[in-house]
Structure 1
Amino acid sequence: MARPTYSFEFFPPKSLEASFRLWDTIHALAPLDPAFVSVTYGAGGTTRELTHEAVTTIGKTTGLRVAAHLTCVNATRDETLAIARGYADAGVTDIVALRGDMPGGAPFEAHPGGFANSVELVEALHATGDFTLHVGAYPDRHPDATTDSSDVEHLKRKVDAGAKTAITQFFFDTETYFRFRDRCVAAGIDAPIIPGILPIENWKGVRKFAASCGTPIPAELDTAFAEAERDSSSDELSKRLATEMCETLIAGGVEHLHFYTLNKPHLTRDVIASLGLAPRSALDHVA
């Protein structure tokens, strides 16, 4: 079995301090030789310019393969495709095409003249012939899904429209991922379903985010992190949980892992080291 590959997700900085943190994270993780890195898009397209700047700068200064997030929110079709052309002109070959979220958690509403959903966005981007397209996937039911099968059906439409891989929302139970992958295969989806891994930097923050997006929260994690916080071992617990999750996924045939870094490198770096996936020279460089 080939050694699994991995990728990292960053978000664009909104302040000078955040900019320094992003570049510290990139410099810490770039030596690990990821297959690609991605840069997110704020709710409502609020970081559109910042995302573009981060994507192009990372590509130019590090040589990493960078995937730019692009959404349907708050832009016409022409405006969205103009952004995509700008990426193509800058040498960006990968886009993570998403519906996107409205500001303030409001229900999604298509922009007049814009893309109604991610399937339409994927179709239009695929027609340009400029990009390898990645899309989102939801092992736990998406809050907007109307039935238990909706997430798989929608993913099938995105893959049929031209998506090459799907990156999942984070999850806490590997069986959730495996059941979802089995359902995708049964539905005729042949694109790789890449698990999204979230090393837990802050349990209260992750718990709040999970609740907002409908991800079930195991009660035992509340207990484990409460105990870990009392004896200042939260990082050790997080590292162990993420490493064990990745080991189980790899044993189950997963060939690529996508890490949500939250622009903080140390847990992601430590998990990859624990898995024995990083080049030795890279570990020497970032130690």
Structure 2
Amino acid sequence: MKVTEHIENANGKTLFSFEILPPLKGQNIQSIFDSIDPLMEFKPPFIDVTYHREEYTFKELPSGLLEKKVVKKRPGTVGICSAIQNKYGVDAIPHILCGGFTKEDTENFLIDLDFLGIENVVALRGDAVKSEIYFKPEKEGNEYASELVTQIVNLNKGIYLDDDLLNTSATDFCIGVAGYPEKHMEAPSLDSDIYFLKQKIKNGASYIVTQMFFDNKKFFDFVAKCRKEGITVPIIPGLKPLSTKKQLNQIPHRFKVDLPDELIMEIVKAKDNDAVRQIGIEWCIAQSKELVAAGIPVLHYYSMGKSDNIKAIGKEVF
């Protein structure tokens, strides 16, 4: 079932969903099941599975030259989605990136998903790899998420890259895209960011999932700006409970997300990470309850492979 259909069928009730990471190469699928099992009591209608593009490392050869090596640390997105749908009977939503894919790679990826009965995807540009200062699109790939959305929509119309194909079958993907309540790190302003977000919707995306935020006012302001610009699709907030003191520096640096002063000072004064974890849970519970009271259709939690704190939040909210 499509995400938009899940929302419509909920009749105003706020749904619970979450996102997982594929395990590191060498681990098995049980690690995924172990992180999902504790959260199934909250009846998630769908679970997102991230996609991690290849990274580059360099090895020095005896000649002194450097050899570039492609490393994929977290493979398995498609297999995990299939396993989730088979084991739990809920919709699995794979992330699809521009980075690391040619348009042909993307088309083949989508064909595999369609064969597996997967009806939803999240279309993302993706971040720069560690060896890049700025994002570089793949040669013959999509440069922007809006272009990726267009390619998916074309496939939904039965339009493939090869014009010579006859009697093509159309796919039927529901497309989600990312939104940034505090703007994307590379965007010059929030208004310009929303301008391009509107383009993704115009191209055919059906819903928005936001970057994490820790101040609900920023989310509500973002939604109001989107509505003012004519964006009417569901906007799903992304939430993440803090769990370590290091995240006070890591999250603002890596994601360009602000943390409220009150939350910062509570964590600064915490005696250890156990105390930080509890602060993060309580803060996220308060965020969640306010969002539910506001009639937000879905709360989407970034679990990062750990479910204990998400479960503690779910028990208080759902």
> Do the two structures share a fold, i.e. TM-score over 0.5?
yes
Q: Say yes or no: does 1:75 pair with 2:130.
A: no
Deviates more, 1:46-55 or 1:28-37: 46-55
Whether the aligned pair in 2 keeps the contact of 1:35 and 1:65 (CA below 8 Å) is yes
CA distance in 2, matches of 1:59, 1:232: 34
Whether the aligned pair in 1 keeps the contact of 2:20 and 2:305 (CA below 8 Å) is yes
Q: 2:33 aligns with which of 23, 26, 42?
A: 23
Q: Say yes or no: does 1:247 pair with 2:289.
A: yes
Give the 3-state SS of the residue equivalent to 1:216 in structure 2. coil
Give the 3-state SS of the residue equivalent to 1:190 in structure 2. coil
Whether the aligned pair in 1 keeps the contact of 2:244 and 2:273 (CA below 8 Å) is no
Counterparts in 2 of 1:94-109, with a 5 A limit? Answer: 94-104=120-130, 106-109=133-136
Counterparts in 2 of 1:1-287, with a 5 A limit? Answer: 2-16=12-26, 19-44=29-54, 46=72, 49-104=75-130, 106-129=133-156, 130-205=172-247, 207-230=249-272, 232-275=274-317, 277=318
CA distance in 1, matches of 2:218, 2:107: 35
**What letter matches 1:10 in structure 2?**
I
CA distance in 1, matches of 2:280, 2:197: 30
**What letter matches 1:228 in structure 2?**
A
Change (3 A) 1:134 1:203: farther
Whether the aligned pair in 2 keeps the contact of 1:41 and 1:51 (CA below 8 Å) is yes
Residue 66 of structure 2 corresponds to which residue in structure 1?
none
CA distance in 2, matches of 1:167, 1:231: 29
Change (3 A) 1:231 1:185: closer
**What letter matches 1:57 in structure 2?**
A
Change (3 A) 1:224 1:179: same
- CA deviations 1:188-247 (Å, max 9, x no partner) are 000111100102222413640332221112333232113233494223212210010011
Give the 3-state SS of the residue equivalent to 1:233 in structure 2. helix
CA distance in 1, matches of 2:273, 2:108: 52
Deviates more, 1:50-59 or 1:184-193: 50-59
Deviates more, 1:124-133 or 1:218-227: 218-227
Whether the aligned pair in 1 keeps the contact of 2:25 and 2:75 (CA below 8 Å) is no
TM-score, structure 1 normalization: 0.89
- 4+ residue runs of structure 1 moved beyond 3 angstroms? 15-21, 43-49, 229-232
Change (3 A) 1:204 1:21: farther
Whether the aligned pair in 2 keeps the contact of 1:143 and 1:213 (CA below 8 Å) is yes
Deviates more, 1:241-250 or 1:18-27: 18-27
CA distance in 1, matches of 2:290, 2:41: 25
Gaps of 5+ in 2: 1-10, 56-71, 157-171
CA distance in 2, matches of 1:199, 1:81: 35
Give the 3-state SS of the residue equivalent to 2:210 in structure 1. strand
Figure out how many residues of one structure are paired with residues of the other and give that number.
276
Deviates more, 1:168-177 or 1:108-117: 108-117
Deviates more, 1:97-106 or 1:165-174: 97-106
Change (3 A) 1:205 1:22: farther
Greater relative CO (CA pairs within 8 A, separation 6+): 1
Change (3 A) 1:173 1:271: same
**What letter matches 1:211 in structure 2?**
H
Whether the aligned pair in 1 keeps the contact of 2:52 and 2:75 (CA below 8 Å) is no
Whether the aligned pair in 1 keeps the contact of 2:25 and 2:74 (CA below 8 Å) is no
CA distance in 2, matches of 1:32, 1:255: 15
CA distance in 2, matches of 1:57, 1:230: 37
- CA deviations 1:145-191 (Å, max 9, x no partner) are 12331111111111111111100000111000000000000000001
The structural deviation recorded for 1:16 is 4.5
What RMSD in Å do the two structures reach over aligned CA positions? 2.0
Larger radius of gyration: 2
**What letter matches 1:138 in structure 2?**
Y
The structural deviation recorded for 1:43 is 4.2
Give the 3-state SS of the residue equivalent to 1:116 in structure 2. coil
Deviates more, 1:9-18 or 1:159-168: 9-18
TM-score, structure 2 normalization: 0.81
**What letter matches 1:187 in structure 2?**
E
**What letter matches 2:179 in structure 1?**
A
CA distance in 2, matches of 1:199, 1:78: 38
Whether the aligned pair in 1 keeps the contact of 2:245 and 2:268 (CA below 8 Å) is no
